[in-house]
Copies of this chain bind each other. A is one copy, B any other.
Amino acid sequence: MSKPLILITNDDGYQASGIQALASAVASFAEVYVVAPDGPRSGTACAITCTTPVSISPIPPQSQASVLCPQVKWYSCSGTPVDCVKLALEQILPRRPDLLLSGINHGDNASISAHYSGTIGAVFEGCMKEIPSVGISLYLQRGQRYEDFPVGSDTLIALSRLCQRMVKEGLPKDVCLNINLPTAHIFRGWQVCRQARGLWSAEWVSATHPFGQQAFWLTGTFTDLEPEALDTDFSALRAGYCSIVPLHVDLTAHEAIDKIQRIIDKV
């Protein structure tokens, strides 16, 4: 039987250690294509490139990524993570992939951060194309620095096992997964949960250009609005578990339809 085909992308660019660790972790059991941005695309959500052409290049065999995982086919792309998925499917892959992975992102995409994440944007794109799609991000505690992603760590081994299961079972139609890891080293287990309610605030820091114009850097403080809940992604991460939130392509707030109808009836 031929190996399953896995497409990998991310929003940190193909040079990121997270995507290289992920590609290494699944290359043992799958044929792997990486089609990833040519540099950082954090915060690009489901953005697509509408106004300029997008290019793709094979990554040379002497680049760090190719040397680390020579059995993986590496491509870089000038567009967004969603562009990478769309291009891979139509222009690069030899057939439909059995699984799409996005990440491992440097920084978490739990709670409402999933809305802004290019990592998760790519996952939604895969899901809209009816491919089992999983985003993986590494949570960093306050003060913690970006870690390396140790090849052979318990977490990466568990992740590889999870991916094998996904290839076998698939995912429900129009559903994809948003996984956050509390650490790249220790693996305490998976916890299937829901997205925590959250709030970003104090988001801008003023910056003055040397010529005098004012501008603003985006930053911000995140607040978990449900710190007591035990069934959210953040509660899982705080307890040291890997959170798995199923997301759906259907954005409709079905439970609100009747309420909105009553408001509209009064217009």
Cα distance A168–B172 in the bound complex, in angstroms: 40
Interface size class of A (residues with CB under 8 A): 35 or more
- Indicate if A108 sits at the interface (CB-CB under 8 A): no
The proximity string for A residues 240-265 relative to B, scoring 1 for CB distances below 8 Å and 0 otherwise, is 00001111111111101101110110
Cα distance A48–B172 in the bound complex, in angstroms: 30
For the complex, would chain A's binding face be called helix, strand, loop or mixed by DSSP majority? Answer: mixed
Cα distance A22–B245 in the bound complex, in angstroms: 37
Cα distance A199–B127 in the bound complex, in angstroms: 11
Known: A192-B260, A250-B194. A204 touches B40 (CB 8 A): no
Set B40, B193, B252: member contacting A195, Cβ < 8 A: B252
Assess whether B250 is in contact with A195, with CB atoms less than 8 Å apart.
Answer: yes
- Indicate if A200 sits at the interface (CB-CB under 8 A): yes
Copies in the complex: 2
Please give 10 more A-B residue pairs, beta carbons under 8 A apart, in addition to A53-B209, A53-B217. A40-B50, A40-B51, A86-B218, A91-B204, A158-B267, A165-B267, A172-B256, A178-B251, A248-B252, A251-B251
Assess whether A112 is in contact with B128, with CB atoms less than 8 Å apart.
Answer: yes
Q: Which of A46-64 contact B (CB under 8 A)?
A: 46-51, 53-56
- Indicate if A215 sits at the interface (CB-CB under 8 A): yes
Assess whether B218 is in contact with A49, with CB atoms less than 8 Å apart.
Answer: yes
Assess whether A248 is in contact with B253, with CB atoms less than 8 Å apart.
Answer: yes
Least CB distance from A89 to B in Å reads: 8
